[in-house]
């Protein structure tokens, strides 16, 4: 089983140096330590294992080192920054592995930009050697790219001419959408495997600054100093240690302190059950800082992120996620208010950022999501987001119950309107209603109100509200129907329906770019025995089917 949690003493591919407000990450890939056998990670090329470590390192810096304002990514290997994703790994991997690998690395790079935009850490790529493909895509995700001007160091995206594929982790999109490279220059750049160096790289907007070897370290320090001034919410005095998750994995499922995932492989369903916070989590700020990574919102976010990644990578045939919860609405609203009222405190800002990125992993997972609200549920406050992550929501309607039950209830909070935006830059509520400001204004007026099934349905927050007689059959039949459909068709359907309206750099990367790359990864021009990706390094030329479609 592939797992995603790491400890600093287990890193094989990165060295971390923290000095005052700067953290420097040195890429030094261990050639023989690929996450799977069958290839060597030469030339600082990477696989999923290298990126898992990078994700863990950045996460730990966010929480454990609040004094760090700027992260510098560079290389320990002379004349070699990174050759990008390991080509031999890609050539021998099955399609699902390639796609999930690209998705995870995309999310890691998006995480750099999310931190930078939210008042947290800024990122600088100090390119001190050859920087190709995915190596340059790491640099593109940073706030600034510095290139050593030594007549040999270049940046390049050689995937099209060498491999018959696209840069898979946002390269093309960031090149023109983020860095504003002119499209004709980008065309030359992406079809020239030799790359661009020195002043031309600056003139074409491929990098921000260059310096000769004798002055490169000074350039780094100057840019760190300037970038530090732009960081708003990194002023903590003491970090929060990220304790190891309490996770158990059995054949029946995956369990944590606040999450239990029951996996039914025969029916291709996983139920994610959330245990909400209790009154011991509604604390003052000093008590929260002492509780650290055991405070419910942080622990919940870490557990949910880990679970999403484990299911995505290891349970490929699980097609439907049902989400349920139990707990007190008052307590979840209490911890939500603490996050909202203290969002300018570095620790709270980092928790909100982790929640935002984790919920985005759900949005972007190729799984159908049904959220189910019963009498024990606590889908209020920040957990109300899981109503709007879902493709459908089912809420038990007890209005005619002979027992006189009035619940269950849901309650909106201000956090549902801002702070937890999707990759399209909009809240899930704004996305749900196509950014209809009139509707959103109406919903803002009912923040804090407990809404039963009929009221929630009336406000268009719920899909279906069966009564207790139809409840079990309605959900069972809906799930059975969903699992009977083509997984490929559902992935395409959900990806289109979940992101209506405007496009952003991120939605292009996960929608347009990923869709094309998905198709290209299946085409013989890339992956047949005579395809470019398979023949790379053999000395033989690829044989292409030349029909343009």
DSSP letters spanning 35-52 = SSSS---GGGEE-HHHHH
Task: Classify residue 25 as left (phi > 0), alpha (psi -120 to 50) or beta.
Answer: beta
**Residue 300 sits in the same domain as residue 339:** yes
Q: Residue 18 and residue 71: Cα distance in Å, rounded? A: 9
Q: Residue 21 and residue 190: Cα distance in Å, rounded? A: 36
**Residue 404 sits in the same domain as residue 307:** yes
DSSP letter at 293 equals: G
Which residues have CB under 8 Å from 417's CB, separation 6+? 427, 429, 430, 440, 443, 444
For the cut 90, the answer to whether the pLDDT of residue 402 exceeds it is: no
Q: Residue 293 and residue 74: Cα distance in Å, rounded? A: 29
**What percent of the chain is modeled with pLDDT above 90?**
92
pLDDT band at 404 (very low <50, low <70, confident <90, very high): low
**Residue 255 sits in the same domain as residue 118:** no
**Residue 174 sits in the same domain as residue 294:** no
Q: Residue 260 and residue 201: Cα distance in Å, rounded? A: 50
Tell me the pLDDT tens digit for each residue of 289-345. 999 999 999 999 999 999 999 999 999 999 999 999 999 999 999 999 999 999 999
Domain that holds residue 479: 248-496
Q: Contact, 483 vs 319, CB < 8 A?
A: yes
pLDDT band at 431 (very low <50, low <70, confident <90, very high): very high
Stretch 361-381: mean pLDDT, rounded?
A: 96
For the cut 80, the answer to whether the pLDDT of residue 405 exceeds it is: no
Tell me the pTM.
0.96
34, 204, 245, 284 from 295: Cα distances, Å: 35, 47, 13, 12
For 149-290, where are the E strands, in sequence order?
155-156, 209-211, 248-249, 253-255, 259-264, 269-275
Beta strands at 248-249 and 253-255: parallel, antiparallel or unpaired = antiparallel
Q: Contact, 211 vs 149, CB < 8 A?
A: yes
Mean pLDDT, all residues of the chain: 95
**Residue 216 sits in the same domain as residue 254:** no
Q: Residue 340 and residue 299: Cα distance in Å, rounded? A: 17
Q: Residue 217 and residue 523: Cα distance in Å, rounded? A: 44
Count other Cβ atoms within 10 Å, centred on residue 336: 22
Q: Residue 19 and residue 472: Cα distance in Å, rounded? A: 58
Stretch 89-95: mean pLDDT, rounded?
A: 92
**93: domain CATH number?**
3.90.226.10
**Residue 268 sits in the same domain as residue 209:** no
**Residue 76 sits in the same domain as residue 217:** yes
Whole-number pLDDT of residue 502: 85
**Residue 441 sits in the same domain as residue 366:** yes
**Residue 187 sits in the same domain as residue 298:** no
Structure tokens at 488: 């490929």
Name the one residue in this structure whose structure tokens are 């290139």: 147
Tell me the pLDDT tens digit for each residue of 113-140. 999 999 999 999 999 999 999 999 999 9
């Amino acid at each position: 089983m592939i797992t995603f949690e790491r400890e600093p003493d287990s890193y094989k591919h990165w060295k971390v140096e923290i000095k005052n407000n700067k953290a420097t990450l040195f890429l030094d890939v261990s050639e023989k330590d690929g996450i799977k056998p069958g290839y060597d990670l030469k030339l600082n090329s990477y696989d999923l294992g290298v990126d898992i470590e990078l994700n863990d390192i950045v996460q730990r810096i966010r929480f454990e080192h609040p004094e760090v304002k700027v992260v510098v990514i560079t290389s320990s290997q002379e004349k070699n920054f990174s050759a990008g994703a390991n080509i031999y790994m890609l050539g021998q991997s099955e399609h699902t592995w390639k796609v999930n690998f690209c998705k995870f690395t995309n999310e890691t790079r998006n995480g750099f930009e999310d931190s930078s935009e939210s008042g947290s850490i800024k990122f600088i790529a100090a390119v001190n050697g050859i920087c190709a493909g995915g190596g340059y895509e790491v640099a593109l995700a940073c706030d600034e790219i510095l290139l050593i001007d030594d007549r040999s160091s270049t940046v390049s995206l050689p995937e099209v001419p060498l491999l018959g594929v696209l840069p898979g982790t946002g390269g093309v999109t960031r090149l023109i959408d983020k860095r504003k490279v002119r499209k004709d220059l980008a065309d030359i750049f992406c079809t020239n495997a030799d790359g661009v160096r020195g002043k031309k790289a600056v003139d074409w907007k491929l990098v921000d600054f260059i310096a000769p070897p004798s002055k490169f370290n000074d350039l780094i320090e100057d840019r760190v100093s300037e970038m530090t001034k732009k960081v708003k919410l990194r002023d903590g005095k003491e970090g929060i240690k990220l304790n190891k998750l309490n996770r158990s994995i059995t054949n029946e499922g995956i369990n944590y302190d606040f999450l239990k995932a029951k996996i039914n492989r025969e029916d291709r369903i996983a139920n994610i059950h959330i245990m909400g916070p209790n009154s011991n989590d509604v604390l003052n700020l000093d008590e929260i800082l002492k509780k650290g990574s055991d405070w419910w919102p942080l622990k919940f976010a870490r557990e949910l992120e880990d679970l999403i990644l484990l299911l995505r990578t290891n349970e490929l045939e699980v097609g439907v996620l049902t989400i349920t919860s139990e707990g007190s609405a008052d307590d979840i609203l209490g911890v939500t208010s603490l996050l909202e009222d203290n969002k300018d405190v570095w620790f709270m800002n980092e928790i909100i950022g982790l929640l935002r990125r984790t919920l985005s992993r759900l949005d972007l997972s190729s799984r159908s999501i049904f959220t189910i609200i019963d009498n024990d549920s606590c889908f209020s406050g920040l957990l109300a987001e899981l109503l709007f992550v879902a493709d459908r929501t089912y809420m038990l309607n007890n209005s005619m119950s002979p027992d006189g039950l009035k619940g269950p209830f849901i309650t909106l909070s201000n956090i549902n309107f801002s702070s937890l935006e999707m990759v399209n830059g909009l809240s899930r509520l704004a996305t749900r209603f196509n950014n209809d400001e009139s509707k959103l204004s109406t919903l803002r007026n009912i923040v804090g109100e407990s809404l039963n099934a009929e009221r929630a349905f009336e406000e268009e927050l719920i899909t279906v509200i069966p009564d207790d007689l139809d409840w079990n059959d309605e959900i069972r039949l809906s799930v059975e129907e969903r699992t009977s459909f083509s997984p490929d068709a559902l992935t395409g359907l959900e990806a289109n329906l979940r992101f209506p309206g405007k496009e952003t750099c991120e939605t292009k990367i996960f929608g347009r770019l990923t869709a094309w790359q998905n198709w290209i990864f299946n085409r013989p021009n890339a992956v047949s025995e005579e395809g470019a990706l398979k023949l790379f390094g053999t000395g033989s030329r690829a044989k292409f089917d030349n029909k343009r479609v």
